[in-house]
Chains A and B, each alone.
Chain A
Amino acid sequence: MNITREQVEHVARLARLALADEELDALTGEMDAILGYVEKLNNLDTDHIVPTAHAVPMENAFRDDRIGPSLGTEKAVSNAPEAADGCFVVPKVIE
């Protein structure tokens, strides 16, 4: 086994996904198969290989620190499930 059902449940919590029992069962099998497949990467010796994060080599992209136009609060909250006074409203965080 490349992954157990307990690990899948743990990953679901990390990913903030409330998954049903059937989904967890199915994912355990599917992730196991996919992780088995990607094992083949271990056939390659990569000890001295530099990782590639982006295919095009780039330095940091700097710009002048100038104030430009922005969306504005009204537009920024216009798609919020719940908003009040230009703020996003969320369920109570602190008991």
Chain B
Amino acid sequence: MSLTDLTLHAMQKRLQDKELTSVELTRAFLDRIAAVDGRINAYLTVTGEQALTDAALADRRLAEGRGDALTGIPVALKDIFVTEGVRTTCASRILDNFIPPYDGTAVARLKAQGAVLLGKLNMDEFAMGSSNENSGFGPVRNPWNPDYVPGGSSGGSAACVAARMAAATLGTDTGGSIRQPAAHCGVVGLKPTYGRVSRYGVIAYASSLDQVGPLARDVEDCAMLLQAVAGHDPADATSVDLPVVDYRASLKDGVKGLRIGLPEEYFIEGLDPEVHKAVEQAIASLRALGAEFVQISLPHTDYALACYYLIATAEASSNLARYDGVRFGQRVDRGEGLIDMFMQSRAAGFGPEVKRRIMLGTYALSSGYYDAYYLKAQKVRTLIRQDFLAAFEKVDVLLTPVAPTPAFKLGEKTADPLQMYLSDIFTIPVNLAGTCAMSLPCGLSAEGLPIGLQLIGRPFDEATLLRAGYAFEQAGDWHQRPAPL
């Protein structure tokens, strides 16, 4: 077994037992990146030299007995996290040359623990996409089969973990952008509750939906990363001042008596039979472990996608107004005045999907249409949120598929935006409701592509979610299957 095949928690144990140094581990990952990333395109920037310097510092810290949970662990970040002195593009040409002057809070918290940053990961431009084909720097390929997409928008983060090019990664999830790529790449991905992790220093897409979370090899690794980044931050006014529990403490308490809801609206026609079968097997496995299953209904599920594409695009059109060629990013100036400079800079810098969403959002917010579109969507959002809160009166956790199908081929859905959007129908409602959810590997299709199981938890009850996920995961071995790279 190679060092890069270890889980994060196994690495941590070896580092603390002095059986391994961070420099050895970091070198192993840098070698792995050099060997396989030419076929995957997960990394936009590799900070090898700095990583080795930081690894040496981490080794000293460990030798002095001052190690923290993540000291010496090599991690990588979606290129949406601003990193002081390290180019941050959000996979957009408009930020091609952007060198942030500060670290965001999640990054600062990882660094404070002594984690080693290997580099920045590819994604859909400004986190808008479900396949990673919208990157301004070329698509990411699925480590299980390079003809297939890794999912999106955190496709680089998921592919990186699946291809063993970092111990774990951070991504962001606005409508499924952690869970859907995690499912397609056979790794574990967690979207915490809105407000659980600070977004300070995370480039904004849709501010009422965006949330930071880990993608990792297994549930315990996810718990460790969440532990490091969760908690109130005065620099993000939407981060919630609630205590952060010890997520590993209750991990192994099992699911006996846990009530799990099966929302009927998620087991529909159009759900791929192989996905359906894998999810049914997961249900049987959890039932055997003592969980109780309850049929429930989330009646407004069918409206979630329409609701999301108004709210997310409206917020995006506002957030992305800052890219105007003045304070950072690319400028195109034909000498025809300020407005022309704005229009040319934005036209040259943004890709087609970003333009499409800015246009849709601008329209939804424009005079005469605001009530019909944006306000209407916000009201429907209330109904969707109430569905979840009512369900959680009856059950502790919900169980659904992550995506209706396994990964699709590159180019298969690029011609029809609406078809592409439909790959997020099972993940989007969670963001609208603002609660937490995770994706776990639960099977392989006949073509050898991973299938994901989604568990959805009560707001701020990540501990129960992780406990259920851990019980399911440990009863099988799906999380241990390596991508045949």
Given contacts A17-B346, A79-B98, contact A11 B240 (CB under 8 A): no
Residues of B within 8 A of A15 (CB): 317, 346, 358-359, 362
Q: Among the interface residues A11, A43, A50, which one has the most CB atoms of the partner chain B within 10 A?
A: A11
The majority secondary structure among interface residues of chain B is helix
- Digitize B172-212: 1 where CB-to-A-CB distance is under 8 Å, 0 elsewhere: 00000000000000000000011100000000000010000
The residue of chain B having its C-beta at the shortest distance from the C-beta of A80 within the complex is B327
What's the Cα separation between A81 and B328 when bound, in Å? Answer: 6
**Residue pair B341, A91 in contact (C-beta under 8 Å):** yes
Given contacts A30-B356, A55-B194, A58-B238, contact A71 B102 (CB under 8 A): yes
**Residue pair A79, B99 in contact (C-beta under 8 Å):** yes
Residues of A within 8 A of B194 (CB): 54-56
The stretch of B28-36, B117-125, B301-309 that contacts the partner chain: B301-309
Shortest distance in angstroms between B471's beta carbon and chain A's nearest beta carbon? 27
**Residue pair B208, A54 in contact (C-beta under 8 Å):** yes
B363 beta carbon closer than 8 Å to chain A: yes
What's the Cα separation between A46 and B25 when bound, in Å? Answer: 56
**Interface residue count for A (Cβ, 8 Å)?**
52
B1 beta carbon closer than 8 Å to chain A: no
**Residue pair A76, B344 in contact (C-beta under 8 Å):** no
**Residue pair B344, A44 in contact (C-beta under 8 Å):** no
- Digitize B292-326: 1 where CB-to-A-CB distance is under 8 Å, 0 elsewhere: 00000000101101110110000001000100111
Q: Which of B101, B317, B337, B338 contacts A75 (CB 8 A)?
A: B101
Within 8 A of A (CB), among B418-444: 418, 432-435
**Residue pair A33, B101 in contact (C-beta under 8 Å):** no
B382 beta carbon closer than 8 Å to chain A: yes
**Residue pair A50, B208 in contact (C-beta under 8 Å):** no
**Residue pair A93, B338 in contact (C-beta under 8 Å):** yes
**Residue pair A46, B418 in contact (C-beta under 8 Å):** no
Q: Which of B324, B346, B360 contacts A34 (CB 8 A)?
A: B360
The residue of chain B having its C-beta at the shortest distance from the C-beta of A19 within the complex is B347
**Residue pair B417, A51 in contact (C-beta under 8 Å):** no
Q: Which of A33, A39, A43, A80 contacts B326 (CB 8 A)?
A: A80
**Residue pair B347, A17 in contact (C-beta under 8 Å):** yes
Residues of A within 8 A of B237 (CB): 61
Q: Which of A23, A76, A88, A92 contacts B355 (CB 8 A)?
A: A23
B339 beta carbon closer than 8 Å to chain A: yes
Residues of B within 8 A of A39 (CB): 306
Residues of A within 8 A of B344 (CB): 18
Q: Which of A12, A44, A63, A82 contacts B331 (CB 8 A)?
A: A82
B153 beta carbon closer than 8 Å to chain A: no
Shortest distance in angstroms between B343's beta carbon and chain A's nearest beta carbon? 4
Residues of A within 8 A of B330 (CB): 81
Shortest distance in angstroms between A66's beta carbon and chain B's nearest beta carbon? 11
A67 beta carbon closer than 8 Å to chain B: no
B385 beta carbon closer than 8 Å to chain A: yes
Shortest distance in angstroms between A80's beta carbon and chain B's nearest beta carbon? 6
The stretch of B57-65, B138-146, B253-261, B371-379 that contacts the partner chain: B371-379
Residues of A within 8 A of B234 (CB): 63
Given contacts A17-B343, A49-B379, A58-B238, contact A78 B99 (CB under 8 A): yes
The residue of chain A having its C-beta at the shortest distance from the C-beta of B232 within the complex is A61
Within 8 A of A (CB), among B87-116: 97-102
**Residue pair B325, A50 in contact (C-beta under 8 Å):** no
Given contacts A3-B363, A44-B303, A56-B240, contact A91 B333 (CB under 8 A): yes
Shortest distance in angstroms between B342's beta carbon and chain A's nearest beta carbon? 4
Q: Which of A19, A33, A51, A88 contacts B381 (CB 8 A)?
A: A51
What's the Cα separation between A80 and B324 when bound, in Å? Answer: 11
**Residue pair A56, B380 in contact (C-beta under 8 Å):** no
Shortest distance in angstroms between B53's beta carbon and chain A's nearest beta carbon? 22
B414 beta carbon closer than 8 Å to chain A: no
Within 8 A of B (CB), among A35-73: 35, 37-44, 46, 49-56, 58, 61, 63, 71
B335 beta carbon closer than 8 Å to chain A: yes
What's the Cα separation between A61 and B198 when bound, in Å? Answer: 14
What's the Cα separation between A21 and B378 when bound, in Å? Answer: 33
**Residue pair A38, B331 in contact (C-beta under 8 Å):** no
What's the Cα separation between A15 and B358 when bound, in Å? Answer: 7
**Residue pair A34, B417 in contact (C-beta under 8 Å):** yes
Shortest distance in angstroms between A14's beta carbon and chain B's nearest beta carbon? 5
Residues of A within 8 A of B474 (CB): none
B482 beta carbon closer than 8 Å to chain A: no
**Residue pair B307, A41 in contact (C-beta under 8 Å):** yes
Q: Among the interface residues B99, B375, B418, which one has the most CB atoms of the partner chain A within 10 A?
A: B418
Given contacts A41-B376, A44-B303, A71-B102, contact A55 B355 (CB under 8 A): no
**Residue pair B310, A38 in contact (C-beta under 8 Å):** yes
Besides A15-B346, A90-B338, 6 new A-B residue pairs in contact (Cβ under 8 A), listed by A number: A18-B347, A46-B379, A51-B381, A54-B194, A79-B98, A91-B338
Task: Across the A-B interface, give the 3 residue pairs with the lowest CB-CB distance, nearest first.
Answer: A55-B434, A51-B378, A81-B331
